[in-house]
Structures are given as structure tokens and as C-alpha cells.
């Protein structure tokens, strides 16, 4: 039995433009530095080669800064980020990526190839760019 659908890989649907920041930045500085607001997230750079990437979502900032009436100028990104994070290989089939997202409660994840971030992928990207043929 052959699969009638062709394989769609994460690299085919990921956003290649993303923001990567230093975890020591204040939330205020990070938000000002954010160029790609449609991604709704910031990737936090590794401190060194033995460290892991982190991520902060706009919803994290809303819950951990805005809702608690904390000053974004006084809260550092590392205080509200998630680390370590689940990353996705660019060659992964989007069906498996969607299952991974579901299993771990993710909405988006960095795409990492050879230890470096090459993009970011979300459920929205997988559905709108990968599932539906336009």
C-alpha cells in the first residue's frame, strides 16, 4: 500500500526569519529588538557550546510579566523563558512534527540543523502551508 500524499518536511513549511536574543536582556529590550512579530516568540541563544536553546512566547510575557504587573524593564528574559526546549529536525515529516507538538503541548518550536537554529515552525505553519494544497 503506497501513501498517496507526498512527504512534506518541516523545512518546507517553517519560517526562516526568527528572532534570537540573549537571555540577559530585559523583557522590554527583547520586545524592542523583536523584528518578526508574526512568530510570536523569541529564541534565546545558548550561553556556550554546552548550553541549550531557550524560548519565550508572547503568552509567557503576558502571564509572567503583564498579568503579575511586573516591570518589563526589570524582568530578564531568562526569568520567563522555557529551557531546555524541544527542537525539530528540518527533515521531519510534518505529520510526525504535529504528533510531537501534541504530545508535549507545544504550539511552536525552533528548527535545528547541525546544532544551529535554521527556522521556527508552528502548528499554523504546518496546517496552512503543509496540509492544504493551494
Name the pTM for this structure: 0.86
Ordered by where they begin, the domains of the chain are 10-131 (3.10.580.10)
> With 0-12 CB in 10 A as exposed, 13-18 as middle and 19+ as buried, what is 97?
buried
Q: Average of pLDDT values for 47-72?
A: 95
- DSSP, collapsed to helix, strand or coil, labels residue 84 as coil
**pLDDT tens digits, one per residue of 26-49:** 999 999 988 888 888 999 999 998
Which candidate, 63, 102, 94, 97, places its Cα nearest to that of 79? Answer: 63
CA angle 92, 96, 97 (to 5 degrees): 70
Amino acid at each position: 500500500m503506497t501513501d498517496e500524499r507526498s512527504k512534506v518536511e518541516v523545512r518546507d513549511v517553517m519560517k526562516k526569519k526568527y528572532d534570537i536574543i540573549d537571555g540577559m536582556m530585559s523583557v522590554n529590550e527583547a520586545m524592542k529588538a523583536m523584528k518578526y512579530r508574526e512568530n510570536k516568540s523569541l529564541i534565546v541563544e545558548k550561553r556556550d557550546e554546552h548550553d541549550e536553546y531557550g524560548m519565550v512566547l508572547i503568552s509567557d510575557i503576558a502571564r509572567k510579566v503583564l498579568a503579575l504587573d511586573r516591570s518589563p524593564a526589570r524582568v530578564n528574559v531568562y526569568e520567563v523563558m522555557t529551557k531546555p526546549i524541544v527542537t525539530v529536525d528540518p527533515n521531519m515529516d510534518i505529520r510526525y512534527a504535529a504528533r510531537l507538538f501534541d504530545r508535549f503541548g507545544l504550539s511552536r518550536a525552533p528548527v535545528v540543523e547541525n546544532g544551529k537554529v535554521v527556522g521556527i515552525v508552528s502548528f499554523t505553519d504546518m496546517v496552512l502551508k503543509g496540509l492544504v494544497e493551494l
